[in-house]
Amino acid sequence: MQGTDRMNNRERILTLLSGQQPDRVPWFGDLDYWISSQTSRKTLPERYAGEGYFQLNRDLDVGFYLQGFCPFKTTWGDVNLAVERRGDRQIKTIRTPKGDLTEIQQYLPVSCSWGIVKHAVDAADDLPVFRHYIRQQAYEPAYDEIARRQTLAGDNGVVLCYTPRSPFMQLLTTYAGVENLVYLLADAPDEMAELLDLMETRYNQAAELTVASPAECVMIPENLSSEVVGRTYYQAHLRPYEARWVRQIRQAGKFSFIHMDGTLRGLVQEVARTGFDVIEAVTPLPSGDLAMADLIARVPGPTILWGGLPGVLFTPATSDGDFQSHVIAMLRLMRREPRFVLGVADQVPPDGLIERVRSVAGLCDRYGRYET
């Protein structure tokens, strides 16, 4: 697909993922946070509601690859999950024959987001109940949504599906939180080893369904950040799981992604060595902890780096001139070789200016043509 003829967004990304050079640097952005916030505020134009999400991408000339989703259904055996809304709080109760676990989330109107204020697993006493919860999980394929998205995305992008996170990261991001997890690993090492093994057994079953699905791209959605995990935890708990599934994804003829949307300096080289085709949502300065040029130096090809435009650049906190200068600077780096995707790192926020999103494709046409 090389040449001077203009490609569509699907052609661009598949050409680049296949190790060839498209007509220019691809531009793909995650608009889900922005569109969900406008829905919540009742300010979303009607034409973009529901399946209109795909039309928004087309109107803005932004390649589609997310919202990612898990192409499997989970059943819970004798576990009952109950969710109750109390004002700006949501209480999720996991009821099992061994006892109950409770998670509480708080809605934040300013950011149109939810934050966990109480994790389900707070202490070692919760582990027997949580093990039962995990043991009851079973999975079955749910592939219909893939076909629907393939039709809706069409020539504007690709369909990407999620495996489960690694067990360590699922505990860290959702079930236990950073502080609780660190204490549990120190205070109950044998129980935690048993739990992590059990979670991996279950999650491997779900990951098999994802890899076997019709999706073209498969992501392990770790939400990884170097200052939270660090090299020791990564090598001990994340890499074995990730490396297994990177191999399986490649053997299935698909492209492997990891979502690394936090700080990069301490861990990005370790992640690259694991063998992912794509490190996605990379966030450079001014929001991250590395300049894009430094990141490129740390991660040699053929690893594809996807990102470069921190979400804050799309907000009024950044001037129009500074926004445009940053986009052009990214493109001048990325057009040197075909292993970069210009993307939002990691989402356009609720106060993002949609005209800035619209302007990026034109800047890519003008400044994103490859140098060779």
- Alpha helix (H) ranges present in the chain? 9-17, 32-40, 52-60, 127-135, 144-153, 167-170, 178-187, 189-211, 230-233, 239-251, 268-274, 292-298, 320-334, 354-367
- Structure confidence at residue 211 (pLDDT): 98
pLDDT in tens, 222-268: 999 999 999 999 999 999 999 999 999 999 999 999 999 999 999 99
pLDDT band at 68 (very low <50, low <70, confident <90, very high): confident
Please tell me the chain's helix, strand, coil percentages from 3-state DSSP, rounded to the nearest 5: 45, 20, 35
pLDDT at 3 over 80: no
- Which pair of structure tokens corresponds to residue 114? 């939810």
Report the alpha-carbon distance of residue 65 to residue 164 in Å, rounded: 18
pLDDT band at 67 (very low <50, low <70, confident <90, very high): confident
**What are the backbone dihedrals phi and psi of residue 291, each rounded to the nearest 5 degrees, phi first?**
-70, 150
**Averaged pLDDT for residues 130-146:** 97
Number of other residues whose CB lies within 10 A of the CB of residue 166: 26
In this structure, of 8-12, 48-52, 165-169, the range with the lowest mean pLDDT score is: 48-52
pLDDT in tens, 38-52: 999 999 999 999 999
Can you tell me which residue has the tokens 């949504």?
145
Beta-bridge partners for 73: 140
pLDDT at 342 over 80: yes
What are the domain boundaries of the chain? Answer: 9-74+124-367, 77-123
pLDDT band at 271 (very low <50, low <70, confident <90, very high): very high
Burial of 104 (C-beta count, 10 Å sphere; 0-12/13-18/19+): middle
Report the alpha-carbon distance of residue 306 to residue 28 in Å, rounded: 9
Q: Which CATH number fits domain 9-74+124-367: 3.40.50.300, 3.20.20.70, 3.10.450.50, 3.20.20.210?
A: 3.20.20.210
CA distances for 61 relative to 11, 204, 216, angstroms? 14, 36, 21
Q: Are 150 and 85 in contact (CB under 8 A)?
A: no
pLDDT band at 2 (very low <50, low <70, confident <90, very high): very low
Residue 265 is which amino acid? R
Report the alpha-carbon distance of residue 53 to residue 196 in Å, rounded: 37
Residue 291 is which amino acid? A
Tell how strand 217-220 and strand 160-162 pair up: parallel
